[in-house]
Amino acid sequence: MPGFIKPQLATLKGKAPSGAGWLHEIKYDGYRTQFHIDGDNRKAFTRNGLNWIKRFSVIAGAFDIPGQAIIDGEVVVVHEGRTNFSELQADLARGDQDRLLFYAFDLLWLDGDLRLKPQEERKRLLRELFDKHDLRPPVMYSEHLEGDGQQLFQHASQLNYEGIISKRADAPYRSERTEAWLKVKAVQREKFPVVGFIKDPTGVAALYLGKQEGKELRYMGKVGTGWSRTVSSQIRKQLETVVSPKTKLTKPIKKPKTTWVEPQFYAEVEYRDLTSEGLLRASSFKGLSRKSERR
């Protein structure tokens, strides 16, 4: 059995494909993970090849199967009916695995290499693996639909999912970004430097965001939703380490209750579009990372 296999990645498109020959899946908001099962020897590789088996040991233990297998998928936390990256980050920071789930969407190895087999054949074998060994949560089989991808995308958008992934049914697995896998996002997602925050009694009520454009740090608006009380408290503790006496925005804005910070942390934010003033519309917080840790 091989070691870490570089994952196949999807190409971003504006519209989902329709017609025969495509499998359509929900796009999960978590950590891409590749589980290697070889008897009692278990590994859990991240997208970049780091072995996170200690963090995902409960999931790895749920693969009660004989022989060898390499399963590709996404580790998530489901919060309020949808996968939530911010909640996943918080659980991992605490070392808590109770809410972690793994949605398996591809089978790369099953006592032999499956990567040259068609996508639909690999999914069929993955489904059989789950059924034969009665695999149960925290491991889940990622269901798919065939036919009109745009219709699934519209349903996903209405349910506030991140989007969908469409995969060519007849394509092999390729360790690169290809057009055999297409992703269509219901919302835009980007990382913005945090330039300030508003306090609430235990954490933050809002984050003020900027965007670097050449030498200018321009104001992009704020985000005030998307975190739990625990995550809000963690955000405040991190930002209080980089408090600044004044704003770092090139063109200062008047926000009397704001605590300004050095732009050392980036907020990952989902948003629908921009207002006529160029500010974020319908924004929602997804995660926080230091400048040197940007994914």
Q: Tell me which of 6, 27, 215, 255 is the catalytic residue.
A: 27
The span from the CA of 119 to the CA of 72, in Å, is: 12
- Taking the chain, what is the end-to-end CA distance rounded to the nearest angstrom? 29
- Residue 228, H or E segment: none
Does 191 participate in catalysis according to the annotation?
no
Q: If we measure between CA atoms, which residue out of 1, 121, 128, 133 comes closest to residue 63?
A: 133
Q: If we measure between CA atoms, which residue out of 93, 101, 166 comes closest to residue 135?
A: 101
Residue tagged 């934010």 (tokens): 269
Question: Quick check: helix, strand or coil at residue 246?
Answer: coil
- Residue 152, H or E segment: helix 149-158
Indicate which residues carry an active-site annotation: 27
